A and B are shown apart, each in its own frame.
Chain A
Amino acid sequence: MKMLLNLRQDKIGFLSSIVIFVTIMLGVFAPFFAPHDPNQVNMSLRYAPSSMEYLLGNDHLGRCILSRLIIGIRPSVLWVLAALGVSVLIGAALGFLAGYFRGKIDTVIMRMCDTMLSFPGYVMALAIIGVLGVGLQNILIAFILIKWAWFARIIRTSVLQYAELDYVKFAKAPGIKDLQIIYKHLFPLTFSDIAVIASSSMGSMILQISGFSFLGLGIQAPNAEWGMMLNEAREVMFTRPELMLAPGLAIVIVVSAFNFLSDSLQVALNPALSTGQKRSKQESLSTEKKEVLMK
């Protein structure tokens, strides 16, 4: 609760969360919000400019751009969110195992992470798409397969620093079960780290999905997706540049919102950051985070 209150005081963070909330709602209830059938072809409206009926105009098949933009939230944002959730879950599970139990489990999981992290993400995704075939589903699978490793690694680091704290040791002494310790004592502490990493990687994942769709590897026609809409607009980039605007801005706004939210979350979860006082532990953690994020 305190976190939410903190967040409310941060204007940018507050605005970002509203943008994200609205986007998600629009996506979930897309058919209600979309003014037209997003796949309705009407050749007589090919490249029509914006009008009262079609607020953002029409694309190369006379389809309503606004409706496509709204329905495009599903693959561009919601499915990415889902994929992110799954890989964070996998990463968290393995991260807690490794960080809490240490020893052999830790070694095995970390070496697996090393292996996964030694492949460049994009190339790995392309390879997986090459094996499984093109399609949104396969890209999401590829993402989950690639991303879990560095979530696992960061969460492990976060768990490590708390696992040695005295009260965790004291909790172990009377024989409280490991799972319960993790759930009761470690999870609340690491949750803030997980939230920050997840929200900050959301932006890059949206960009990557759009990138793959732009290349034609993602969602297949006639379904709408922002990257694909950009690709369709690209063909008339010099004769009708305005078509790039709607999907381009949509991506920019949502990705920025996620990034700002991530920054604000970090501050809200850890007010010390906003005043500039840093404890050495956090500094080391955030540098590691940054390093991984740079990848």
Chain B
Amino acid sequence: MTVKKYMSPVIFLLMLALLTACSDNTEGGGEAQDDNSTAATKEIIYATAKDINDMNPHLYAGSMPAQGKVFESLVENTEEGIKPLLAESWDISEDGKVYTFTLREDVEFQDGEPFNAEAVKKNLDAVQNNADTHSWIKLSTKLESTNVLDDHTVELVLTEPYYPALVELSMTRPYVFLSPNDFMDGETKSGVEGYHGTGPYKLAEHKTDEYAVFEANENYWGGAPAIKKITSKVLPAGETTFLALQKGEVNFAFTDDRGADSLESESMNQLVEEGEYQLVRSEPMNTKMIVANSSRTENAVSETEVREAIWHSIDRETISRDIFDGTETPAETLFSSNIQYADVELKKREYSLEKAKEILDQAGWKEQQSGAVRTKNGNELAMQLFYDNASSSQKTQAEFIQYSLQEIGIQLEIIGEESTSIANRRATGEYDLLFNQTWGLAYDPQSTIAAFTSDASYLHTTSGIEQADELYKKIDEVMVTTDENKREDLYADILTTVHNEAVFIPITNGSVTVVAPDNLNGISFKQTQFELPFEQMNFKD
């Protein structure tokens, strides 16, 4: 007992010491926070569910919003069409095969290397040497050679005329420019030694799966950006991000490049109500959809009727109203009709469980007893739907759709995975159904449609449909035709085919959402959902 008597004050002292140690820490943290709040007038810290990864702009592992800050392309896709960026002007030959670009003369890479025709050639050649990886971007199959005409003039020769060439050159990747000093053995396909682009920000520090710091490029040819420091902080989506925003640990969040919001709409509204944040939403940019694997012959999803039934059994109105709080509108077709070439008359498949049941009955999928899973020739009507773990809205939608499908006798297993794993499934065809989205204004319809034929994208989705060969032929044709009317007709045919086959089951028209500090000005959007123009933002004093 005596020991105990002595022990208790000792323990008490120890506890006290621990406590003070703790409070020291919190004080330290407090100071850091003060630093943050003073710095908050000129700094953005954004939350992201995944690391910036390998920033190599000629490959696809990196985070696009991060690459978009550091690297630039020859031309820029804007609301008014293609505008100059690193190229001041360009010229297209009569036959549409030769593009001659005059480059800006005042541009330097972030490591001091001048940006000139030679650098352009090196970069384009490096991309072309790895053309297989870039098959989704048709320019990579048509770019024959890049020739240096003089120090600031460069010529791209195509094998045949290709109308979306400029659009594809404007994309976030792969036709962007990395300092030749960073190349490994003159190539970029097996890694690079640094990430020096020409963009408004440069990568200053990167700690894998923790954070990445981008600093303003003071020598940026377009003028140094107002916001000097941007940090990309890896945080799990959902309540962690929400708390971090509330505490001021991060002060910015946006829809990531796979279309997942890190916050659900209710939390965003709460942040805005508390007064520290503003919510900015872009125009509808893309179509969120479920992609069906038509080539998976061992599963019922390869039957058009089954896909149609699924289409009919999704209540888009409710999803839009209750899950998205009305922020996203229901989508009835793969591309909304305001997209170029997409204003095509297509049969609307309204929400109707009765209709869905009827279709399944006709297709031979019979319900043995009410409420049971339908069967045909002893096979159960069961399939899997994959959703992105980081997106709470996708999970809710998946559960909602699971219930609707159960009503019509389809057994749906829903599985949440990381976004890279979902992308991998899409590429390998290891799925029945998965959540996806069209690629956004700059890419729709031409790139998304070109991706129907690409292994890495929607080949498995489209290759199971009956007229697949004909479809692919038309896609090839539409990309090279120079006749505007013919192009329109071909696009109409293509869109009608995939609509009739119901391989892309649209849900809502999605937009990019930004949660930003209340005093941040100049928040705007690009023509792609994959990056944000941070260089145009500034803080009010």
Q: Which residues of A contact B (CB under 8 A)?
A: 39-41, 43-44, 46, 60-61, 216, 220-222, 234-240
Q: How far is the CB of A64 from chain B (nearest CB, A)?
A: 13
Tell which of A44, A216, A221, A235 touches B402, judged by Cβ atoms closer than 8 Å. A221
Contact (A61, B400) CB under 8 Å given A43-B322, A238-B242: yes
* 6 smallest beta-carbon distances between A and B, as pairs: A41-B403, A43-B322, A43-B318, A239-B266, A237-B239, A235-B392
Check B239–A235 contact: CB distance below 8 A.
yes
Check B242–A46 contact: CB distance below 8 A.
no
CA distance A235 to B243 in the complex (A): 12
Tell which of B238, B315, B322, B413 touches A46, judged by Cβ atoms closer than 8 Å. B322
Instruction: Decide if B264 is an interface residue (CB 8 Å cutoff).
Output: yes
- Output the nearest chain A residue to B392 by Cβ-Cβ distance: A235
- Output the nearest chain A residue to B246 by Cβ-Cβ distance: A238
Check A235–B403 contact: CB distance below 8 A.
no
Q: How far is the CB of B537 from chain A (nearest CB, A)?
A: 27
Residues on the A chain within 8 Å of B413, using CB:
220
Q: A43-B323, A61-B396, A236-B266 are in contact. List 13 more A-B contacts (CB 8 A).
A: A39-B403, A46-B322, A220-B413, A220-B414, A221-B398, A221-B399, A222-B406, A234-B238, A235-B238, A235-B264, A236-B264, A238-B246, A238-B267
Q: How far is the CB of A14 from chain B (nearest CB, A)?
A: 35
Instruction: Decide if B190 is an interface residue (CB 8 Å cutoff).
Output: no
CA distance A40 to B398 in the complex (A): 15
Instruction: Decide if B521 is an interface residue (CB 8 Å cutoff).
Output: no
Instruction: Decide if B141 is an interface residue (CB 8 Å cutoff).
Output: no
Residues on the A chain within 8 Å of B322, using CB:
43-44, 46
In the complex, chain B residues 236-267 whose Cβ is within 8 Å of any chain A Cβ: 238-239, 242-243, 246, 264, 266-267
The prevalent SS among residues of B at the interface is helix
CA distance A234 to B236 in the complex (A): 13
Q: How far is the CB of A62 from chain B (nearest CB, A)?
A: 8
Instruction: Decide if B379 is an interface residue (CB 8 Å cutoff).
Output: no
- Output the nearest chain A residue to B317 by Cβ-Cβ distance: A43
Q: Which residues of B contact A (CB under 8 A)?
A: 238-239, 242-243, 246, 264, 266-267, 270, 315, 318, 321-323, 392, 396, 398-400, 402-404, 406, 413-416
Contact (A234, B239) CB under 8 Å given A220-B413, A239-B266: yes
Check B400–A239 contact: CB distance below 8 A.
no
Tell which of B267, B318, B399 touches A239, judged by Cβ atoms closer than 8 Å. B267
Q: How far is the CB of A31 from chain B (nearest CB, A)?
A: 13
Q: How far is the CB of A101 from chain B (nearest CB, A)?
A: 45
- Output the nearest chain A residue to B398 by Cβ-Cβ distance: A221
CA distance A145 to B238 in the complex (A): 35
Residues on the B chain within 8 Å of A43, using CB:
315, 318, 321-323, 400
CA distance A237 to B415 in the complex (A): 22
Q: How far is the CB of B397 from chain A (nearest CB, A)?
A: 10
Residues on the B chain within 8 Å of A60, using CB:
396
- Output the nearest chain B residue to A240 by Cβ-Cβ distance: B266
CA distance A236 to B323 in the complex (A): 13
Which residue of B242, B398, B399, B414 has the most chain A CB atoms within 10 A of its CB atom? B399
CA distance A59 to B46 in the complex (A): 30
Residues on the A chain within 8 Å of B242, using CB:
238
Check B416–A222 contact: CB distance below 8 A.
no
- Output the nearest chain A residue to B321 by Cβ-Cβ distance: A43
25 residue pairs of the A-B complex, CB under 8 angstroms, read A39-B403, A41-B400, A43-B323, A43-B400, A44-B322, A60-B396, A61-B396, A61-B399, A61-B403, A220-B413, A221-B399, A221-B414, A222-B399, A222-B403, A222-B406, A234-B238, A234-B239, A235-B238, A236-B266, A236-B267, A238-B246, A238-B267, A238-B270, A239-B266, A240-B266
Residues on the A chain within 8 Å of B239, using CB:
234-235, 237-238
CA distance A189 to B88 in the complex (A): 93
CA distance A221 to B414 in the complex (A): 7
CA distance A183 to B239 in the complex (A): 56
CA distance A40 to B404 in the complex (A): 10
CA distance A220 to B385 in the complex (A): 13
Contact (A238, B243) CB under 8 Å given A41-B403, A220-B413: yes
Q: How far is the CB of A222 from chain B (nearest CB, A)?
A: 6
Check B267–A41 contact: CB distance below 8 A.
no
- Output the nearest chain A residue to B414 by Cβ-Cβ distance: A221
- Output the nearest chain A residue to B243 by Cβ-Cβ distance: A238
Residues on the B chain within 8 Å of A46, using CB:
322
CA distance A30 to B367 in the complex (A): 26
CA distance A222 to B398 in the complex (A): 10
- Output the nearest chain B residue to A44 by Cβ-Cβ distance: B322
- Output the nearest chain A residue to B319 by Cβ-Cβ distance: A43
Q: How far is the CB of B250 from chain A (nearest CB, A)?
A: 15
Residues on the A chain within 8 Å of B400, using CB:
41, 43, 61
Residues on the B chain within 8 Å of A222, using CB:
399, 402-403, 406
Q: How far is the CB of B435 from chain A (nearest CB, A)?
A: 15
CA distance A61 to B399 in the complex (A): 8
Residues on the B chain within 8 Å of A235, using CB:
238-239, 264, 392
CA distance A220 to B402 in the complex (A): 12
Q: How far is the CB of A192 from chain B (nearest CB, A)?
A: 33
- Output the nearest chain B residue to A216 by Cβ-Cβ distance: B416
CA distance A40 to B243 in the complex (A): 32
CA distance A44 to B319 in the complex (A): 11
- Output the nearest chain A residue to B404 by Cβ-Cβ distance: A41
Q: How far is the CB of A65 from chain B (nearest CB, A)?
A: 15
Residues on the B chain within 8 Å of A216, using CB:
416
Residues on the B chain within 8 Å of A234, using CB:
238-239
Residues on the B chain within 8 Å of A236, using CB:
264, 266-267
CA distance A61 to B414 in the complex (A): 15
Q: How far is the CB of B158 from chain A (nearest CB, A)?
A: 49
Q: How far is the CB of B413 from chain A (nearest CB, A)?
A: 7
Residues on the B chain within 8 Å of A237, using CB:
239
Residues on the B chain within 8 Å of A61, using CB:
396, 399-400, 403
